[in-house]
Homo-oligomer: A and B are copies of this chain.
């Protein structure tokens, strides 16, 4: 085996393709062709699919068997134990100041979800309050699927805790300067200097679920 330890992170588009391959394989029983990928993604050129596959192979998450039709194999990291089946995710409501997010008291409900739905894995669902992320399609009352993490990359939606308040914002960082950006012109960005302000990343947003009424 070759060493692809660094494992560059996938772009959004690339993980979308990877998930599509997994899903189509699951449904049909065999991997898709380039043309099928292109059709599902809405590409008008099969080559767009081909290029993505090459990129995924280079990053070590996909195997391509030269010459074989549908010769794709997703390299599963096989997380310890359970691969498929269901996960039961807690729905976290209002988070009291000073207490950890996942405190039992905050759990409003538990839903069973298909783990394939989100990448990376969602650990809990946070009920979003307010309209500060409206233009990112995250509305009041929505459930934000959150992957627990203490780090974030610029551009990601994060769950952050500043001085005992938990908030959902888009994260941007340059050196010691961090911005927590709302996606709604009616709200003000939050500017932080890591040398003096405390900031704790609680997780990154990996999905949104909205049910009923708001629609």
Report which A residues bind B (CB closer than 8 A).
12-13, 15-16, 19-20, 23-31, 33, 39-40, 42, 65, 68-74, 80, 83, 85-86, 91, 93-94, 107-114, 116-119, 129, 134, 136-139, 142, 145, 156-157, 205-215
Contact = CB atoms under 8 A, between A and B. Distances in A.
A112 B109 contact: no
13 contacts: A16-B213, A23-B109, A28-B65, A30-B30, A30-B70, A42-B129, A83-B86, A119-B211, A136-B215, A137-B214, A205-B215, A207-B211, A209-B210
Contacts of A213: 12-13, 16
Interface of A is mostly: mixed
Given A42-B94, A157-B215, 4 more contacts: A19-B211, A30-B31, A112-B113, A206-B215
Total identical chains: 2
A104 B30 CA distance: 15
Nearest to A155: B215
A91 B68 CA distance: 28
A30 B65 CA distance: 11
Contacts of A13: 213
A36 to B, nearest CB: 9
